[in-house]
Amino acid sequence: AGRLSGGQVRRLDVGIALIGRPELVFLDEPTTGFDPEARRQFWDVISGLRDLGTTVFLTTHYMDEAQVLADRVAVLRDGKIAALGTPAELQALRGDVEIRFTLPHGVELATFPTLSSQPRLTGGEVRVETTAPTADLAALCSWAEARGLELPALTVERPTLEDVFLAIAGETA
């Protein structure tokens, strides 16, 4: 084992921990040192354990990992639980959704329809942070269609678990 890479040592540690099919497994930063493919394979292992009824207590700084694997997430701040819930519940704490698209050529923000919040223009990209994404998206699409415009690179994104973590971590005590 002394000749194994960091990622291989982690895999060996987990393999040893799983001998005997434990009911509870603690995994502390299990994918640190893994390449992206190995991380995804390991996520399948963790999901398989959950499907077999094993309780997995996972600590990680990789919010995408928590997003995919966790049934419940606790965000720690200063050694205390600052937020607790399912990934979706924690994402709802931010509440804002961002609509983004490239400003069509020859169009000015002043001509946009009334939205729930003021659009911002950053480097040719329009951003609308909204708590009413369906209504704002419908207004934008109707407005664009009535003018024969496309909204290039249109995306609608909910805050990620990482966004929530950063917001909580940035709060002052």
What span, in angstroms and rounded, lies between the C-alpha atoms of 155 and 43? 27
Q: Which helix (H) or strand (E) holds 95?
A: none
**How many alpha carbons lie under 13 Å from residue 8 in its C-beta half-sphere?**
5
- Residue-wise pLDDT tens digits, 34-43: 889 989 999 9
Number of Cβ within a 10 Å radius of residue 167: 14
Q: Which residues of the chain have pLDDT under 70?
A: 171-173
- Residue-wise pLDDT tens digits, 109-147: 999 999 999 999 999 999 999 989 999 999 999 999 999
What span, in angstroms and rounded, lies between the C-alpha atoms of 41 and 31? 10
Closest by alpha carbon to 70, among 80, 81, 82, 56?
A: 56
